[in-house]
Amino acid sequence: SQQGEEDPQALSIQEGENATMNCSYKTSINNLQWYRQNSGRGLVHLILIRSNEREKHSGRLRVTLDTSKKSSSLLITASRAADTASYFCATAVSNDYKLSFGAGTTVTVRA
């Protein structure tokens, strides 16, 4: 069953603006991973953040994790048309590597 819930379900922004999406989960986790999916294709791994970490950066991406609130956020700064995609969070509860995915946020970046 899906552990994560994401909001918003959909997001439309202007090119150059920032996009923020949130992920909440129900049980304690080992790590949380963010993925991007373009038009129903394969998933591209963006960032992994561990339960003992609070923030990570990768290029224009910033991920935060608040284990007390069981939530994470993904910020995309200075968005581009190529950022148009669905974004999923996925949690690993234990060391068996299984991922439980959130429902995803669909981001549309308008030129």
What is the binding site for other proteins (CB under 8 A)? 1-2, 30-31, 33, 35, 40-45, 47-50, 56, 58, 88, 90, 92, 95-104
Q: Is 73 exposed, middle or buried (0-12, 13-18, 19+ CB in 10 A)?
A: middle
Per this entry, what is the length of the chain? 111
What CA–CA distance (Å, rounded) separates 96 from 68? 23
- The two structure tokens encoding residue 75: 């910020």
67 alpha carbon, distance to own chain's centre: 15
How far apart are CB 68 and other proteins at their closest, in Å?
22
For other proteins, which is the closer residue by CB, 15 or 37? Answer: 37
For other proteins, which is the closer residue by CB, 17 or 57? Answer: 57
How far apart are CB 92 and other proteins at their closest, in Å?
7
Q: Is 24 exposed, middle or buried (0-12, 13-18, 19+ CB in 10 A)?
A: middle
How far apart are CB 35 and other proteins at their closest, in Å?
7
How far apart are CB 3 and other proteins at their closest, in Å?
11
- The two structure tokens encoding residue 64: 């935060």
For other proteins, which is the closer residue by CB, 15 or 100? Answer: 100
For other proteins, which is the closer residue by CB, 47 or 76? Answer: 47
